[in-house]
A = this chain, B = another copy of it.
Amino acid sequence: MADVHAARRERLRDRCGALAADAALVTRPANVWYLTGAEPDGAALLLTRDRAVLAVPEEVPQDAEGLLLQQPEDVQRLEVPPGADPAVSAATAAARYRVAVLAVEEHDLTVARHRAVAEAAAPARPTDLDRAVEQLRLVKDEEEITALRISAEIADQALGELLESILVGRTERHLAMELERRMVDHGADCAAFPVSIGTGTHAGLAGHLPTDRRVEEGDFLTVALGARYRGYGASAARTFVIGTAPAQWQIDLHAVVFAAQRAGREALQPGTPCHEADRAVREVLQAAGHTEAPPRPVGHGVGLEIAEEPRLGPGDMGKLDARVPVTIGPGVHLPGRGGVRIEDTLVVRPLGEGGPELLTITTKELLAL
């Protein structure tokens, strides 16, 4: 694993060269993790031509089990006193190493921190790293995809168990907590994002925060969940119906969202523009009369962050690459009635390799629970 991280740091050094910077200061937690395999709270990574220095608050105990043990030995640890900002300490070190141009993450540093970093780095001049680490993170290696696959399996197992239990009468909050516990039971580090359970009129809403509403007969039930495994998290959403038989409007709405989601999945090809899947989804929804929905991009990349690049929205002109994991998750919500949301995580693969690889395999049929 240390080799993987060292190779990633080498690629970042190349990018720095292209930016005419002789060092990078990485502060975004997912980016620090990507480059070191460690992500102690508040850590900052300084990467010069010949050094990698991880500035860490000294109160992060070295003997505590966990991430620091994974820290590769070719990364030097710089302890930062309590109250001091590791990014500022790393910038001071950059000045000491005679860095002339220091690339920093302007999309992560606040204005106040950037000012403190620039002062500490002087005479080094700060410039923007321009999301270089995010660009490196876009295409995943097979080890990363394996972590995402396991993440998806864990969520599938937790969801499968929940579907076998009695749901009527239980609150959205309890179902969400139970899913989180089951994911941890199956090996997740934690939930990759707060589990969303929407019942009745809440079903189909994106990012709905669970309430004390109880599941009732006849409800739609939308579950959105993801497990964090070795830093990586896939995302899935399913919608079911509670009771013996769904109503006709429920069957119809589910069929439309299901067809739209399939059209989106089928549009995932290397070389296809990112907006293509979104367009495919919207066409199906609009043909069924859902002209407003969905107002949000139909998908996004997943990896160390649950919504990372690329974005699959109407205005996103970039092209998909092989080994980019993305979500396809359209939904329709009818105010006052509820709705349907169906989301998968898939890895873009060429047709010659079988096309998009589905990671989240729980059935998307309209089960009556």
Contacts and interface: CB of A to CB of B under 8 A. Distances in A.
Interface of A: 41, 58-59, 61, 63-66, 82-83, 106-115, 128, 173-174, 177, 180-181, 184, 190, 194, 201-202, 205-209, 211, 213, 295-297, 311, 313, 315, 333, 335-336
Q: At the interface, is chain A mostly helix, strand, loop or mixed?
A: loop
How many identical chains are in the complex?
2
A190 B195 CA distance: 12
A253 to B, nearest CB: 17
Nearest to A65: B211
A107 B112 CA distance: 5
The 4 closest A-B pairs by CB, nearest first: A106-B111, A107-B112, A59-B296, A106-B112
B108 A64 contact: no
A335 B173 CA distance: 38
A331 to B, nearest CB: 10
A106 B110 CA distance: 6
Contacts of A180: 177
Contact of A108 (B59, B65, B110, B311): B110
Contact of A82 (B111, B112, B202, B297): B297
14 contacts: A59-B206, A61-B205, A63-B335, A64-B202, A66-B211, A82-B297, A83-B313, A110-B111, A111-B111, A111-B114, A177-B177, A177-B184, A181-B181, A190-B194
Contacts of A211: 65-66
Contacts of A205: 61, 64
B336 A63 contact: yes
Contacts of A213: 65
Contacts of A128: 111-112
A333 B61 contact: yes
Contacts of A313: 82-83
Given A107-B110, A177-B180, A311-B83, A58 B202 contact: no
A66 B212 CA distance: 11
Residue among A64, A295, A335 with the highest chain B CB neighbour number at 10 A: A64
Contacts of A64: 202, 205, 208
Residue among A83, A109, A213 with the highest chain B CB neighbour number at 10 A: A83
